[in-house]
Structure formats: C-alpha cells, structure tokens
Amino acid sequence: MTGQRGTRVQATVRQAELPMLHAYRRWFEHARKCDDCKRVRKAQDGCGNGQGLWDAYRQAYDGGAG
C-alpha cells in the first residue's frame, strides 16, 4: 500500500500471547543466558530468578491455580 507521496505504509499487528507461553518464553530467555541455570538439569534447580520465572510458568500452566 502506498500513500499520496509514494511512501510505503506498513501496519504491524501484534498477536496476543497466551499467559502460559509468555511465562515460558520469559523463563527460557533467562535460562539460556544464565550461567547458573545452564548448569542444572531441572529448571527448579536454577538460580533464584530462574526459579521464580519457572514457578510463574508452572502457575500459568496450571491455569493460575496455586
């Protein structure tokens, strides 16, 4: 689509992200950069921040119960 002056007009649509997927993505982005979280096999054994993000993911996965 072009405007009056021939400039291109773009629209960006941001799709809504499910709370569970948002929480998982936040944990994943943290865990792949954190040296402490990279060293452990279980997410709940990571650093304090990683544990908190994992707990938030589990709560969102369970539908907010807990």
Q: How many domains does the chain have?
A: 1
Do the domain assignments include residue 9?
Answer: no
Do the domain assignments include residue 53?
Answer: yes
pTM (two decimals)? 0.70
The confidence band for 16, taking pLDDT boundaries of 50, 70 and 90, is: confident
Q: What backbone phi and psi angles, to 5 degrees, belong to 44?
A: -70, -10
Dist CA 28 CA 31 (whole Å): 5
Quick check: 15 pLDDT over 80?
no
Which residue in the block uniquely carries the two structure tokens 């021939």?
6
**What is the C-alpha R_g of the chain?**
19
- pLDDT score for 13: 63
Torsion angle, CA of 26/27/30/33, rounded to 10 degrees? -120
Do the domain assignments include residue 7?
Answer: no
How many residues belong to the chain? 66
- 27 lies in which domain range? 19-61
51 versus 66: the higher-pLDDT residue is 51
